Amino acid sequence: MSASAQAQKDYEILHKKSRYSRLLSGITALLDWDQETYMPVAASDIRAEQLKVLAGLIHKSKTSTAFAKALSKLIDLKTGKIKNKDLTTPQKAAVEVWRKDYLKEKCLPAAFVEEFAKTTSQSVVAWRTAKAQDTFHTFSPYLEKLIYMNRKKADLLGYEEHPYDALLDLYEPGATTKEVGIIFQSLQKSVTDLLKKIKSVKQIDDSFLFGKFDHHKQLEFAHVLMKEIGYDSSKGRLDISTHPFSSASHPTDSRITTRIHPTSVLSNILVVLHECGHALYEMGLPEEQYGSPLGESISLGLHESQSRWWETRIGLSRPFWDHFLPLLKKTFPQQLDKISIDHFHRAINKVEPSLIRVEADEVTYSLHVILRFELEKALIEGSLSVHEIPEAWNAKMQKLLELTPENNREGCLQDIHWSMGAFGYFPTYTLGNLYASHLFASFEKEHNDWQKRVAKGELLFIKEWLNKNVHHYGRQYNSKELLKHVTKKDFNADVFNSYLHNKYKEIYRIK
Amino acid sequence: MSASAQAQKDYEILHKKSRYSRLLSGITALLDWDQETYMPVAASDIRAEQLKVLAGLIHKSKTSTAFAKALSKLIDLKTGKIKNKDLTTPQKAAVEVWRKDYLKEKCLPAAFVEEFAKTTSQSVVAWRTAKAQDTFHTFSPYLEKLIYMNRKKADLLGYEEHPYDALLDLYEPGATTKEVGIIFQSLQKSVTDLLKKIKSVKQIDDSFLFGKFDHHKQLEFAHVLMKEIGYDSSKGRLDISTHPFSSASHPTDSRITTRIHPTSVLSNILVVLHECGHALYEMGLPEEQYGSPLGESISLGLHESQSRWWETRIGLSRPFWDHFLPLLKKTFPQQLDKISIDHFHRAINKVEPSLIRVEADEVTYSLHVILRFELEKALIEGSLSVHEIPEAWNAKMQKLLELTPENNREGCLQDIHWSMGAFGYFPTYTLGNLYASHLFASFEKEHNDWQKRVAKGELLFIKEWLNKNVHHYGRQYNSKELLKHVTKKDFNADVFNSYLHNKYKEIYRIK
């Protein structure tokens, strides 16, 4: 066998082993999806056990001697030196990622991984009840355990400066607390400045966006949107859940959920575009690479760049509504018939500090994330206790957004993430916005007529651009490498900042 | 440690190991459920792979050296002699069942089990398409493979007289082709006689049961039924699927599905009662025994006795409708307002040979099963080829029911079972009817006022009787042992035959 053929054979063996654990994590994705959509309430205990078993099996498979052996044929596990030069460039990148993932996974004992999975499954259920009944104290014991376990996880994974680094790295490989802190600081300043300017001019009236909007019709409209932007409904579906999400079992099984807001017509639309953005990423991954890093999304930040792309860059744009407003008016003639496209476009872009992150406008959104980042950092380093969260939350809310929630449902109980044991996740939301801006600049350069085309209802080329420039690479690049590869520029927060300032000066007619 | 404490400890270890594979098979149940209800169509290939992985893991766990070692502390694997006398009687029974299951599982190589799981998952999808498009030829390659694999399975499992024995034993432990053949023969004669008598008198007009019945209202009515007979909706749910089924993941997660017939109002009602019967059995199994034979249902025949109990013995009874007809009339006043309870009760019990098994009346039902039993036997022994099925089906249909289907959708493509690789399954449907009759005789003796109570809407005591007399034993007894234990009588077909004759002579006013 030639060296090259041997390399391909070894690579195939490794891929097959890796594919096995990916199949199991796809099953986990289905169980999670079911837990949030259709699972009978009394089944939560057994579901937690099922998830624990799966987590154990996945961990076992990812850290098995057989896997390590297959991997070490292609790369030196200690030094990271590629052993076989006959691999292709993407394959070399994949092997490096496999190694990093393996070393990370190896840090965590099986019992810890299983216990973590079981605890989070139970905690999600406890959170849902606590949120419904506004009883932070019924959730706090779970939260204490989860923070304890996250601290332990950080210790197990290791870190140089801050334990939070280890957690961040799980969701956004390479990101550090320090770097994120610097970006967030400049962002906070920029956003606060912009917010001040916006507050100084006349507020936009968006009252027509609120009222009674038939749920069934809202869902019908969502299905049209999904189809037109390129969501393939033979490979996914739309359901309802408390906290909307997208579920990534496989490129042929990428489901999304939404929730219907009791009064807002916009909420479901933006949620669906957002979750579709995630799902299109998953659907756009190369199927033949399923189970290898080349068939995986890069990071949560990059994932979020895709969802925010569709939600904000497309879904809040004028041409998008040039095309869709007539249909929305036809769906809800009574409520929207008299609204001009200009008024509609300004109204959906209204900026106003509010309590709920997922309903925040583009400008204030980052402040919600900064709040969570700061609290998480404090919780993980131990400078904040769980029982102090409600007070700390409200104080930060007042400082950043000049608002105080009336209850914890609208405060520290609003998000599902902590109950999922996900600390270090929130920052990726804002990073996603920044990434999206970078990518969008390149898209605009390549398609300087995008606005015209979108206004005419031509939408599929957007997905195709993302397929080609982002999705199909899998994890051949990390976030910053991909941005550099696509945009030829280094990553920084300025692109996003100036986009926000330019856009909202126009929306608010600020001179 | 005392001998008794040691026995309990060893038993606990065994139970824990067994529980692990039960958790995995519960996950399989969820994946199957999803496949039939909500799975996106394009996801079928990856689902097949997921099911294959799970089947492999379950098989591995059930046949592991660790499991065998734990088991052999309590029972001699070769001789079946209980080693530790300090186990309780139910525990001894459980250990014996564990051994039998283990020896059976050990006969099948892992690769075979995995391939079987993958093939059946793909075949179900192929069957669904073939049924929808009436293209037997697109399904027949799958069927050929499945029959081949079932023959192989029979060889691997071993049998004394007929390869079909080995398959029957999977669904109804202890049953043999010969014994079933004898029972079916006597049944066929008895049913044919009764049918002749019925055909000689005036047919009942049941036309009011057909027409347009709002789907949503049908489902609402189903939910009321479910609740009143004791289905705990915190532990299950009702969904729609092509082929209705109940899904047994855990006593706290026992879902059912139904289908809404385009014209019949009765179909959904009987389906829901039927599937509830299955689910109530699962929900009635002792939770603390989950994962041990004492937390499992006895056999498919016994399972079917539970579903047929609710569908036919309760759901087609006069007192049940004394109670529910007013609500059904309220739900569909236009269609049912003028119908008397007497007419209604006779109409729902109308006997008429028909093409579709699941919609067959109580009298002709067994003939459908006999047809399948005879075909399966021939397919497995190799005296019938797959391409001959449509013709053979139609010929038998003509012989047994004097009808010929116009297409294969109403003929040999109607059932999902073969696509699931389930040969030897159908006979359990008729055995279930016979078992139900035996059990019902005891129930009637203990509750001779059951008709009065049910007519008043008192229903929960039925479920409670089944919980106490059937469900809570798990697999402490096999089918016939349980029947003997409950009824104090040996099993035979006469109880069912005389029930049928008595009931339908009255319904048809035959002297």
Chain A residues with CB-CB distance to B290 below 8 A: 46
pLDDT tens track for A195-220: 999 999 999 999 999 999 999 999 99
Does B57 sit within 8 Å of A234, measured CB to CB?
Answer: no
Whether residue B221 sits in one domain with residue B145: no
State yes or no: ipTM above 0.90. yes
A233 to B40: CB separation less than 8 angstroms, yes or no: yes
Reply yes or no on whether the pLDDT at A182 is more than 90.
yes
**For residues A337-350, average pLDDT:** 97
Return phi, psi of residue B290, to 5°.
-50, 130
Chain A residues within an 8 Å CB radius of B255: 40
> Given CB atoms, is A30 within the 8 Å cutoff of chain B?
yes
**Would residue A223 count as lying in a domain?**
yes
CA A201 – CA A207 distance, rounded (Å): 18
Task: Report which of A13, A2, A15, A508 is spatially closest to residue A295, judged by C-alpha positions.
Answer: A15
Selecting from A24, A43, A253 the residue whose C-beta is nearest the C-beta of B43 gives A253
Of A27, A40, A236, the CB nearest to B237: A40
Among A106, A134, A162, give the residue marking a domain's end: A134
Residue B117 lies in a domain: yes
Strand B238-240 to A246-250 pairing: unpaired
Substitution target from A64, A216, A235, A252 for chain B, most B beta carbons within 10 A: A252
- The answer to whether the Cβ–Cβ distance between A43 and B233 falls below 8 Å is no
Closest CA–CA distance from residue B254 to any residue of chain A (Å): 9
Q: What digits encode the pLDDT tens for the residues A63-81?
A: 999 999 999 999 999 999 9
In a domain, B165, yes or no: no
The helix, strand and coil proportions of chain B, stated in percent and rounded to the nearest 5, come to 70, 5, 30
Is there a single domain that holds both residue B221 and residue B102? Answer: no
Taking the Cβ of residue A239 and every Cβ of chain B, the question of whether any pair is shorter than 8 Å is answered with yes
Closest approach of chain B CAs to the CA of A44, in angstroms?
8
Final residue before a domain boundary, out of A134, A162, A193? A134
- Domain check: are B129 and B278 in the same one? no
Distance to chain A for B153, nearest Cα, Å? 26
- Listed in sequence order, the residues at least 6 apart from B185 whose beta carbon sits closer than 8 Å to its beta carbon are none
Q: In this complex, is the C-beta atom of A240 within 8 Å of any C-beta atom belonging to chain B?
A: no
B67 neighbors B267 (Cβ within 8 angstroms):
no
Give the pLDDT band (50/70/90) at residue A492.
confident
Of B20, B27, B46, the CB nearest to A253: B46
Residues near B144 by beta carbon (within 8 Å), at least 6 away in sequence: B386
Closest CB to A252: pick one of B23, B38, B42.
B42
Q: Buried (b) or exposed (e) across B251-278, using 16+ Cβ within 10 A?
A: bbbbbbbbebbeebbbbbbbbbbbbbbb
Domain end marker among A134, A155, A174: A134
Q: Average the pLDDT over A116-131 and give the result.
A: 93
Against a cut of 0.90, is the pTM above it?
A: yes
Q: A3 pLDDT exceeds 80?
A: no
Q: What local confidence, expressed as pLDDT, does residue B215 receive?
A: 97
CA A156, A162, A163: angle at the middle one, nearest 5? Answer: 30
Residue of B nearest to A30 (CA): B31
pLDDT at A500 over 80: yes
Cα–Cα distances (Å) from B1 to A502, B6, B13, B73, in that order, read 79, 6, 16, 15
B25 touches chain A (CB under 8 A): no
Q: Look at residue A67 in the predicted model and tell me its pLDDT.
A: 97
Is residue A351 domain-shared with residue A264, that is, in the same domain? Answer: yes
- Parallel, antiparallel or unpaired: strands B238-240 and B246-250: unpaired
Examine the domain organization and report whether B274 and B423 are in the same domain.
yes
Q: Which of B172, B275, B304, B376 is catalytic?
A: B275
Backbone angles phi, psi at A236, to 5 degrees: -175, -175
Subunit contact A252:B45, Cβ cutoff 8 A? yes
Q: Is A503 on the interface with B (CB under 8 A)?
A: no
For residue B2, the model assigns a pLDDT of 78
- Residue A144, domain member (yes or no): no
Residues on chain B touching A290 (C-beta within 8 angstroms): 46
CATH number at residue A355: 1.10.1370.30
- A20–chain B Cβ distance below 8 A for any pair: yes
Same structural domain, A212 and A127: no
Question: Closest residue of B to A52, CA-based?
Answer: B23
Same domain, B191 and B128: no
> Which one of A22, A28, A30 would you mutate to disrupt binding with B, by most B Cβ within 10 Å of its Cβ?
A30
Count structural domains, chain A. 2
Task: Tell me: do B217 and B152 sit in the same domain.
Answer: no
Confidence check: pLDDT of A85 > 90? no
- CB-nearest to A27 from B31, B236, B249 is B31
Question: For residue A243, what pLDDT is reported?
Answer: 86
> Is A4 a residue whose pLDDT tops 90?
no
Give the domain range for residue B461.
177-507
**Do residues B113 and B205 share a domain?**
no
Is the minimum CB–CB distance between A220 and chain B shorter than 8 Å?
Answer: no
Residues B403 and B269 in one domain: yes
Strands, sheet with A253-258, edge to edge from the N-terminal-most edge strand:
A238-240, A253-258, A246-250
Residue A463 carries which DSSP code?
H
* Closest-CA residue to A280 (of A258, A309, A301, A319): A309
Residues 255-274, chain B: which have Cβ within 8 Å of A? 255
> Chains A, B: CB contacts under 8 A, how many?
93
pLDDT at B85: 87
Residue B160 is a catalytic residue: no
Do A310 and A411 share a structural domain?
A: yes
Per DSSP, the three-state class of A347 is: helix
- Supply the pLDDT for residue B243: 86
Are A214 and A130 in a shared domain?
no
Question: Would A158 be classed as within a structural domain?
Answer: no
Instruction: Report the distance separating Cα A35 and Cα A68, nearest Å.
Output: 33
**Tell me, what's the pLDDT at B3?**
72
Contact status of B249 with chain A (Cβ, < 8 Å): yes
Select from B24, B40, B235 the Cβ nearest to the Cβ of A40: B235
The CA-based angle B56-A50-A13, given to 5 degrees, is: 40
Q: What backbone phi and psi angles, to 5 degrees, belong to A318?
A: -65, -50
Sign of CA dihedral B306, B310, B314, B320: positive
- Domain assignment of residue A149, yes or no: no
List, for chain B, all residue ranges whose pLDDT scores fall below the cut of 70: none
A270 lies in a domain? yes
Share of chain A above pLDDT 90, in %: 96
By Cβ distance, the residue of A20, A46, A57 closest to B250 is A46
Nearest to B381 by CA among B180, B155, B171, B157: B155
Provide the mean pLDDT of chain A.
96
CA distance A40 to chain B (A): 5
**Could you tell me if A42 lies within 8 Å of chain B, comparing CB atoms?**
yes
Phi, psi of B250 (to 5 degrees): -175, 155
pLDDT above 80 for A398 = yes
Residue A120 lies in a domain: yes
Q: Cα separations (Å) of A224 from A322, A399, B167?
A: 15, 41, 49
Which one of A275, A282, A296, A311 is the catalytic residue? A275
pLDDT at position B489: 92
